[in-house]
Structure 1
Amino acid sequence: MLSVNKTGMAALLISGMFMVPGVACADTVSPTATVTFSGTFVAPTCTMDSKTVAVDLGMVPVGDFTGPGTVVATTPFTLGFSNCDEGAVVVVSATGTPADGKADDFQNDGSAGHNVAVEIKSGETVMDAGGLNTVEQTAEDGVVKFPFTANMVQPGGSAPVPGAVTSVVTLNVAYR
């Protein structure tokens, strides 16, 4: 019992020492403050110059196709962006129906023109139908221009059959 009284007395003396008249003391709970943070992050964006691009591959004599992999009718086109946020990185991939046996070529959906597909490139990058190959550019002065080429290509060993060549390809745009 004696030790209990001494401990109790010590606690009373210590707490009494901190109770100085005229000085505010906190309760046994420390004061806390709640700080709420808020903000928004957004992906940088641009305005696409045109959401529909038509590329005319022209007329090509069937004799220009000399075998598998023959590329003809190389036609340049540009996918442009303006009003880009400073430093925006624009990434483009392509998706569509792959040509039989060749994922890097897009299927010809024309009414004829069998054994001919469409190939799309940006520089040395061949855009594949599955969207795996991408090209990217960083906006300069709010502008990005992607130079592409579209070609007719003979994907397989069978000789092309004359007719219309039509392919619809979706160019997917992402920003970083």
Structure 2
Amino acid sequence: RNLRVWLEPLGIEVAWLTGRLTGKARRLALERLASGAVQVAVGTHALFQEAVVFAELALAIVDEQHRFGVHQRLALREKGRVDGRCPHQLIMTATPIPRTLAMSAYADLDTSTIDELPPGRLPVTTVAAPDSRRDEVIERIRRACRDGRQAYWVCPLIEESEALQCQAATVTAEYLAERLPELRIGLAHG
């Protein structure tokens, strides 16, 4: 929606394509992409599908690149290949997964760092606390959430391991749900 508000007054048409888009709306979006009537396409994994054809794809921006496989990103690049030239790619992520770190260190990637906050945004404070201060951490989480903020508890493992003596996310989520019953505790991993 924001892109439409910003770009359409400039005569730049924006299309939205997701797996949920069906029927006539999907057909129309695909036709407009293939004909070149649409200059900016925004979407999900649906943009990688074989039925999607781009007219002169010049730039592919992939946000949260770790959510997309290498083959999907390559397929998107190939959709824009014309006369041996590939579209430019802007790969964005705030998640330093090993593949991203390796690509930035060893691949032919230019790296940009956003090192300033948007106006009015306070800096986020990240704290690593020893296990001996767990009760204090639980109380700080309770207060922060009561004040309308969020907390993230990061664990090195998803499930418990006999080989590694590290915190497991599943066990920690159960523990937090018991200690903080008034809060909604979620578990995300991948």
TM-score by length of 2: 0.20
* TM-score of the pair, normalised by structure 1: 0.21
By percentage of residues, which structure has more helix? 2
More strand by percentage: 1
Higher RCO (CA-CA < 8 Å; seq separation 6+)? 1
Between structure 1 and structure 2, the one with the greater Rg is 1
